[in-house]
Amino acid sequence: MNNEEFLAEARSARVIDIAVRFTGVRPRIDEEAQQIVHIKQMQVERIYYAGDLRVDDFGKILQFMKERSTDYSTREQLLRLLEPNLRRLTGRVPFDTISRRYSRNILRVMKALELLDTECNMTIVGDRLLRYYINDKEKYHDYLSQLLLDRGGWVAILTVVEDIWKGRIYVYGRQALMETLKERLVEKKYIRGIWSPNSIIDNLVSLGLMKQWDSILKTHEVNWEKVYDILRRKVFL
């Protein structure tokens, strides 16, 4: 190799490749949460609930079942054990005064949430929820929220409330909203039997999935940030 050859090589073109990309715009959290809920709602066949069951009632009933686990081995035995103790467990007169029916509905809901299996034995999910109920109330509420939204079909309630508000249907007060909500849920065949929509909305508010009644907007706004948090971010072990 001589000087001229080396110089020619030294002067040869050096290519610098530059890539320019436009990254996608990340949708807002509320939009993303609405999309997730909309997709989940398409798979909902019915909403699982019982009477005026409250958020802490699940924990209390699971705890009762754990304490009396040696006293029953079949579903019938559990029902007979639960009926007389419901008022004491929940601390109030139940909305559904027929305690047998109420107990059966409670067990149906717990089975739908996979807290119990077909033999009414506590599953891993039930065990985990009970553990949170005893040790960490915040985690208990978050986990219960996830179960109710994912398995209980409660995503449908969020979408129906959102539709009522977006559809500009005139709602003069909270009670009117509850009635409209119940009509819509029955119309879509999401609910059957004895219901207290007030109670279900109260539960959603106490879980943080909905905001308090807004007397100006005339609705309970969905807290989409919390919904996104529960459905996408939270992990329960």
Partner 1 sequence: MPILIRMPEENIKAVAGKRIRLNVQIEHPRTRWKNIKLMIKYNELFCQQPVERSITEPNDVGFSVIADEITIPEVPPTEQRLGEIIVESNGDTRSEYLPKIKIVSLEGYFEESVAQRLRELGFEANRWGGPSNPDVEAFHPDQPSQKYQVEATTEKKYDLDKYWKDTGKFRDMKEKFQFKRLLIVTLADLKDICPGVTKRLKRASDPFSLITYRDLQKLATKYTQIEISKYEVLAVLLQTGIIPVD
Show contacts with partner 1 in window 3-42 (CB under 8 A). 3, 6-7, 10-25
Nearer of residues 19 and 93 to partner 1, judged by Cβ: 19
Name beta bridge partners: 39. Answer: none
CB-nearer residue toward partner 1: 15 or 216: 15
Q: How far apart are CA 98 and CA 120, in angstroms?
A: 21
Determine if 216 is a binding residue for partner 1 (CB under 8 A): no
Residue whose CB is less far from partner 1, 15 or 124? 15
Q: Residue 214 forms beta bridges with which residues?
A: 219
Burial (CB count <10 Å: 0-12, 13-18, 19+), residue 207: buried
Alpha-helical runs (H) found in 167-196: 174-187
Residue 24 is classified by DSSP as P
Supply the minimum distance, in Å, between the C-beta of residue 9 and partner 1.
9
Compute the least distance from the CB of residue 4 to partner 1, in Å.
10
Shortest CB 22 distance to partner 1, Å: 4
Q: 13-21 — which CB contacts under 8 Å span 24+ positions? A: none
Q: Cβ of residue 28: shortest distance to partner 1, in angstroms? A: 15
Q: Is residue 1 part of the contact set for partner 1 (CB under 8 A)? A: yes
30, 225 Cβ separation under 8 angstroms: yes
The footprint of partner 1 (CB under 8 A) covers 1-3, 6-7, 10-25
